Amino acid sequence: MLSGQNLAVASFIAVLLCLLMDYLFNNSCPDAAKYGPIKPEKRAQHPSREGFPGAKERVYIIAGGSGFTGSWIARYLLLRGETNVYILDRRRPPHDLIRHGGMYVEMELTSTIAVEREFAAIARKCHNYTKTIIYNCACIRRYYSEKNTDLGLQVAEILTVNTKYFPNNSAVFIHIGDAMSHREAVSFWKLWDRRTWYQRSRSDLAYMIPWASKDKASAFSRYAWYQGAIESLVRSISIPNGSLRPEGFITGHAGDHFLSPAISYGGGLLHSADVPISIISVEDVARAALALEYALLDPKTSDMVSGSVFSIEGSVTTLKRIYEYIQSKQSFHIVRVAPVVVYLFSWIVSVLSLFLPAASISGRDMRRENLLCGYPMTFTLSRFCTLQIAQVPNHVNRKRVQELLKFKPNFSAAQTIDGVLRDLKLQQEKGKKDA
How confident is the model over 269-284, as pLDDT tens digits?
Answer: 998 888 889 999 999 9
**What is the reported pLDDT for 189?**
73
Confidence of residue 201 (pLDDT cuts 50, 70, 90): low
Candidates 52, 67, 81; CA nearest to 293 is: 52
How far apart, in whole angstroms, are the C-alpha atoms of residue 261 and residue 128? 46
Residue 127 CA, distance from chain mean position: 35
How far apart, in whole angstroms, are the C-alpha atoms of residue 44 and residue 129? 36
How confident is the model over 84-124, as pLDDT tens digits?
Answer: 999 999 999 999 999 999 999 999 999 999 999 999 999 98
**What is the reported pLDDT for 47?**
46
Count CB atoms within 10 A of the CB of residue 281: 28
**What is the reported pLDDT for 15?**
58
Non-local CB neighbours of 154 within 8 Å, separated by 6+ positions: 110
Residue 91 CA, distance from chain mean position: 19
How far apart, in whole angstroms, are the C-alpha atoms of residue 294 and residue 151? 29
Residue with the larger pLDDT of the pair 38 and 328: 328
Confidence of residue 228 (pLDDT cuts 50, 70, 90): confident
Non-local CB neighbours of 137 within 8 Å, separated by 6+ positions: 62, 63, 64, 65, 67, 69, 70, 73, 176
How far apart, in whole angstroms, are the C-alpha atoms of residue 365 and residue 361? 11
**What is the reported pLDDT for 102?**
95
Question: Is the pLDDT score of 382 beyond 80?
Answer: no
% of the chain exceeding 90 in pLDDT: 42
Collapsed DSSP state (helix, strand, coil) of residue 391: coil
Confidence of residue 18 (pLDDT cuts 50, 70, 90): low
How far apart, in whole angstroms, are the C-alpha atoms of residue 105 and residue 400? 36
Question: Is the pLDDT score of 28 beyond 60?
Answer: no
% of the chain exceeding 70 in pLDDT: 76
72, 76, 79, 82: CA torsion to nearest 10: -110
Mean pLDDT of 189-208: 63
**What is the reported pLDDT for 209?**
53
Q: Are 295 and 269 in contact (CB under 8 A)?
A: no
Mean pLDDT of 229-257: 92
Q: What rounded mean pLDDT belongs to the chain?
A: 81
Count CB atoms within 10 A of the CB of residue 107: 16
Collapsed DSSP state (helix, strand, coil) of residue 244: strand
Domains and CATH numbers, the chain: 58-183+202-252+278-315+393-414 (3.40.50.720)
How confident is the model over 118-168, as pLDDT tens digits?
Answer: 999 999 888 767 899 999 998 766 655 566 667 888 999 999 999 999 876
* pTM assigned to the model: 0.88
Q: Are strands 333-336 and 267-270 parallel, antiparallel or unpaired?
A: parallel
Mean pLDDT of 214-239: 81
Non-local CB neighbours of 124 within 8 Å, separated by 6+ positions: none
**What is the reported pLDDT for 361?**
44
How confident is the model over 358-380, as pLDDT tens digits?
Answer: 544 444 454 556 788 877 767 77
**What is the reported pLDDT for 218?**
67
How far apart, in whole angstroms, are the C-alpha atoms of residue 304 and residue 291? 14
How confident is the model over 36-78, as pLDDT tens digits?
Answer: 788 887 655 544 445 554 455 789 999 999 999 999 999 999 9
Mean pLDDT of 14-25: 57
Mean pLDDT of 332-356: 82
Max mean pLDDT range (133-137, 380-384, 407-411): 133-137
**What is the reported pLDDT for 53?**
46
How far apart, in whole angstroms, are the C-alpha atoms of residue 211 and residue 396? 20
At residue 5, φ and ψ (nearest 5 deg) are -70, -45
Collapsed DSSP state (helix, strand, coil) of residue 65: coil
